[in-house]
């Protein structure tokens, strides 16, 4: 383990200062509608997650949520994004999400059930996102995703808040 110290010094000299990392718990509430040839699912609800901010610009977020309206479903998503480094912090995200639980299945002539979970890869925009010393608040985030098999995800986050300690 004596080689680890010189390696860290060499990396620091090569790449500059280590990145500034900030971890925030987040709360979100909103809705999701998944519609496709085989499945209709979604609902309204809320969830919890964690957001990692690197150098006050680069974002990573993982969260889970519980949705009601069309039964009960669980939403899990992972997102990476970039934000503006100012009090008004609009952000753009690339998301990967899965939906588990109750849904309406459309059984075709082959009588095969659609795969579980339903998943989507998409984009999300956080235009009304504001940050300060105590945390971040975002309203009316819009997202769209697809499963590349005819399924369409529409997502709206009414409110998302993250706190710094």
Q: How much is the average pLDDT of 6-24?
A: 67
13 in a domain, yes or no? no
Q: Which domain holds residue 156?
A: 19-163
pLDDT digits (tens, 9 = 90+) for 77-93: 999 999 999 999 999 99
Enumerate residues 6+ apart whose C-beta is below 8 A from 46: 27, 28, 29, 30, 65, 66
- CATH number, domain of 141, equals 2.40.160.20
Contact present, 165 and 41 (Cβ < 8 Å): no
The total of structural domains in the chain comes to 1
What is the rounded distance in angstroms from the CA atom of residue 112 to the CA atom of residue 128?
Answer: 43
131 in a domain, yes or no? yes
pLDDT digits (tens, 9 = 90+) for 37-52: 788 889 999 999 999 9
8 in a domain, yes or no? no
32 forms beta bridges with 43, 155
144 in a domain, yes or no? yes
pLDDT digits (tens, 9 = 90+) for 24-33: 999 999 999 9
């Amino acid at each position: 383990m004596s080689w680890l110290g010189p390696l860290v010094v060499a990396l620091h000299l090569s790449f500059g200062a280590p990145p500034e990392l900030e971890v925030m718990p987040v709360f979100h509430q909103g809705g999701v509608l998944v519609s496709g040839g085989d499945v209709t699912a979604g609902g309204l609800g809320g969830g919890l997650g964690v957001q990692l901010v690197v150098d006050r610009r680069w974002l990573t977020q993982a969260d889970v949520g519980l949705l009601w309206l069309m039964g009960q479903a669980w939403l899990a998503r992972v997102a990476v994004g970039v934000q503006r480094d100012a009090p008004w912090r609009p952000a753009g995200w690339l998301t990967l999400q899965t939906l588990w639980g109750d849904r309406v299945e459309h059984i075709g002539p082959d009588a095969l059930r659609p795969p579980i979970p339903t998943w989507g890869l998409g984009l999300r925009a956080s235009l009304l996102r504001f940050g300060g010393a105590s945390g971040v608040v975002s309203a009316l985030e819009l997202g769209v995703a697809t499963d590349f098999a005819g399924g369409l995800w529409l997502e709206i986050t009414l409110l998302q808040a993250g706190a710094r300690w």
